[in-house]
Each structure stands twice: as structure tokens, then as C-alpha cells.
A and B are shown apart, each in its own frame.
Chain A
């Protein structure tokens, strides 16, 4: 298995270690973000993803479709999916 497949498998395993795999959240890495707004522009339901990236907060809105559009469109790899159970409970 090449390293990429292995890394991908690791991400999956990491997620599986925690049982309650309800949904994924979009999580920003603010240091990469330059507030260009491409993420918010492509959100089909108008979530201001850019603001989350500024605040360093995951997109926890229950109506987020987790369609991955913002993650895919960000030109700087600011956004990624993470399993909900890895986030602090609120």
C-alpha cells in the first residue's frame, strides 16, 4: 500500500475508533486562510464559512449539508472534514 492510501486508511481508522460516527463537520485551519471568500461563495445554502475560518470555529450549523463544496473549492487547503465526536461537546 502506498503512503497515501495508508494515510487515508489512518484517517478512516481514527474516525472509527470513536463509535458515534454521526456526521462530519467542516473544520478550518485559520493560519492558512486569507479570507478570499470562495468557500462562502460556493456554499449552496449560504453559510458564511469564511467567518468560521476567521473565528477558527468548526461549521456546526445543523443545516450544513456537509456536501464538501467549500472543502473542495478552497484554494489553500484551509478546510477539512472531521468527525463530530472528535469535537468538544457543547
Chain B
């Protein structure tokens, strides 16, 4: 009877446990996680901040689901890994824990910038349920908050603060929001909506210091010497895979724990999946980091099968996220990147709900269409669509994903898309109707 140990109770760990059980009904499966709440919807934290969903609703699994799968769940932290001896050392449990196959699904953690005052009370991030609770608690009393960072998480925090009637100051390093993924018009749409809702945007502004009194935040001093009074400072400048454990154990790491397309690390019996893993993608020819729920799940599942001996390569698929930016539903799919400009990035490395693929700059022609708040940007390659950003009306979200993911041959409409004499959305919708008839995407996948 094989002993499987999974470190991390996030979606990658859960998906792996399910897959192992499916492939090896006799297996002993132990799931170890250091968050007392166990498995919950991490992206759901954004909706918890805005009261769209109560805390107890964030838990997709009940105790009986773990029992049904015969998974042993421990609340503890793994502090050391001994690959040769095939054992783990835990913080609370005194005995070493043996394994035959191990999965590292330890996720990523928010980067803490090296800023005077980051330890003050009132400085927050959004990684965990505990962080979300903290933000809600502080927001009830705070009058003003400063938000530092970019991408999706920063705006999710902004939304949560607005919902709690906190005056928000949003600091941007450069002259626009999320420059590596959005184009200028898209950034402006988001910024305009933010200011309409009362957010004060501070362009080309960096924090020099978080100021405090008696251990609590009182404001932020900017590099140009201004002082913004605030009782809270939220930081969302990016995340980093948790690498301490695998590094100390001598596993190969780069930006994440390196894993092949079977999710195996440089040690035969150790696998990695989810945000912590940098996984080889044969289509790209490189190892890629993602910070996406669906990718973490797919990797976890494939890792589980491989651990149990079902050889299953993980095909990452086209990265997709559907998120809200300043209240505007936005689909981001495939390669949509913008050329970087030095010193204007609000982010270091990867962020939540992000994929390195989005930032790759495609060899494509841009076809775009803007309505008042609805906007579609298409990255048109030689034969295929490479990526798209769709803001507002989401009618085309699913068609776009399928056309991009299936690498549909768009030769018949390519010229019409690029010339821009007809509405891009219309040309696409028409094409989709024909294409999906031929390819039958109407059937639900099971």
C-alpha cells in the first residue's frame, strides 16, 4: 500500500488527492496544510470582501467529502523535507512523516516590499482568508487607505475598501494601470471608472515610507515628499512561489519548483503542482509559471495520476481569466502582452490570477473595437487568434476562448478582422456560429 503525502490544501492539493484516489483505491493519502481553515476558494476572497458571499460559503468541501475519499487531513506545517530518507518534518507533529510519493502544492505568497514601516499594524495583503478577515475588520474603522501595486488583486482590495466606505488612494508607479497586459485605452477605461467611484489615483507616485504612531499606520510618505494620511495600507505588488522547502531539500528551482510535463521535479518521487510549480510546456518550449485556479487544478489532477502510476501529461491549455476590473467584467485569454517600459511596472514577477503567457508579446496584428464601456482587443496571428481582452459585454467570451484554444483557422476572416471596415465583434460572431456548428462545442464536456 503506497503512502502519498500532499503538502498544501489549496486546489492543486485537493485535485491531486481526488486523482490519486481514483487511480489507486487502496492508497493511503495524507493531506497536510498550515491554514486552519483548510481548503477554500481563494479567488472567492474578493467576493467576501464585497459581501457578495458570506465567509462560510467559501468552502467547497465538507468533512464528509474528505471522508468519502478516505483522505486524512492534518493541520500542520511541513518544516523540512528529506528526499533521501523519504520523510518530512512537521512543526507540531513530533514524529517524522514517511512518504512513498510526495506532492508539493504549497502555492505562492505575496511579495513584501522592502519599505520602512511595512510591519506597522494596518499594513495588509490579500493571500488568505485570515488576510481578508483582517481587511474587513480594519476597513470598518478606517477613513482612508492607500493601495500600492497593480494587476487584479490591487483592484479587488480597492473594491472591498470602497464597499466599506473607505476613501481610497491608489498609487501608480507609471502613467497608467497594468501596462504589461492592458493597452492604453483599456487602462484608461479602468482608471476612469475608478475615479468615477471616488478613488484618488496618484500617477507616477511611489511610496517612500509607511508612517506610523504607536505601532499603527498613520499615512504614506511618497518619494516626492507628499504625505497621504491613511489608517490602512494595502500592498499587492506580486506573488512568489514558496520555495524555501524545496530549495533546502536540493530540488531544482528557478522562479518556481521545476517540474516536467508529468509534474515530476528533479527528484523521482517528488511532484509539484499549482502556483509553486514552474512547469515545462512543450508547446511553448519553456517552463512557465501560472497563478491561475484552473491551471492549478489541472496540474494537481495530472500530478495525482502520475504519482499513482497513470502516465498523464499535463496540457496547460490557453490561460484564461474572467475577472472584474473596477466593476467591469473582463476576459483575458492567450497572449495579449504589451511591451514593457522600465521603471513603470507596479508589479514584480507574477501576480494572482495571472499567467506568464499573457505577458508574452505575440507576433500579431491588433484588431480592436471600442464601444462606450465595452471593448474587444483581438491579437490576430498569421492563421490563428493568439489572444484577446474583452471588457464589458461578455457575449463573445466563450466563443473567443474556444477559437483561441482550439487554434481555429481564421484565414477566411483574417483580412476582414484586420481591415476594420466592419465591426470586429460582428465578423467574429458570424465566424463562431459556423465554426461551432462544424466543431460541435455545444455539447457539455464531461
Chain A residues with a Cβ under 8 A of chain B: 2-4, 6-7, 10, 14, 27-38, 40-41, 50-51, 54, 56-58, 75-77, 80, 82, 86-88
Size bracket of the B interface = 35 or more
Let me know if B320 and A57 touch, CB within 8 A.
no
Interface residues of B (CB under 8 A from A): 11, 41-44, 47, 52-54, 57-60, 293-294, 317, 320, 322-324, 329, 331, 393-395, 397-398, 401, 423, 425-426, 428-430, 432-433, 442-446
B425–A37 touching, CB < 8 Å: no
Give 14 new A-B contacts, CB below 8 A, not counting A10-B433, A87-B444: A3-B428, A3-B430, A30-B294, A32-B320, A34-B42, A35-B44, A36-B43, A38-B52, A41-B57, A75-B52, A75-B322, A76-B322, A77-B331, A80-B398
A87 to chain B, nearest CB (A): 7
Question: What's the nearest-Cβ distance from chain A to residue B216, in Å?
Answer: 32
Taken together as a complex, chains A and B put the C-alpha atoms of A19 and B419 apart, in Å, by: 41
Check A32 against B322 for contact (C-beta < 8 Å).
Answer: yes
Q: Which residues of A contact B432 (CB under 8 A)?
A: 7
- In this complex, what residue of B is CB-closest to A57? B446
Q: Is the CB of B322 within 8 A of A77?
A: yes
Instruction: Name the 7 nearest CB pairs between A and B, nearest first.
Output: A36-B44, A3-B426, A34-B43, A76-B322, A37-B57, A3-B429, A35-B41
B293 touches A34 (CB 8 A): yes
**A73 to nearest B CB, angstroms?**
8
Residues of chain B within 8 A of A32, CB atoms compared: 294, 320, 322
A-B contact pairs, 21 of them (CB 8 A): A3-B423, A4-B393, A7-B429, A7-B432, A7-B433, A30-B294, A30-B445, A31-B294, A31-B317, A31-B401, A33-B294, A34-B43, A34-B294, A35-B293, A36-B43, A37-B41, A37-B53, A38-B57, A56-B445, A75-B324, A76-B323
Known contacts A34-B43, A38-B52, A82-B444, A77 near B398 by CB under 8 Å: yes
Whether B329 and A41, one on each chain, are in contact in the complex, defined by CB atoms closer than 8 angstroms, is: no
Chain B residue numbers with a CB within 8 Å of A7 are 395, 429, 432-433
**Cβ-closest chain B residue relative to A9:** B433
Q: Which residue of A lies closest to B319 (CB)?
A: A31
Query: Does the CB pair B60–A54 fall under 8 Å?
Result: yes
Chain A: CB-nearest residue to B397: A77
The listed residue (B11, B42, B54, B393) touching A41 by CB distance below 8 A is B54
- Please give, as numbers and ranges, the residues of chain A lying within 8 Å of B44 by CB-CB distance: 34-38
**C-alpha gap A86/B423 in the complex (Å):** 31
Interchain nearest-CB distance for B219 vs A (Å): 33
Q: Nearest Cβ distance between residue A1 and chain B, in whole angstroms?
A: 10
Give the complex CA separation of A2 and B423 in angstroms. 10
Task: Tell me which residues across on chain A come within 8 A of B320, comparing CB atoms.
Answer: 31-32
Expressed in whole angstroms, the minimum distance between the Cβ of B41 and any Cβ of chain A is 4
Q: CA of A57 to CA of B41 in the docked complex: distance in angstroms? A: 19
Check A36 against B58 for contact (C-beta < 8 Å): yes
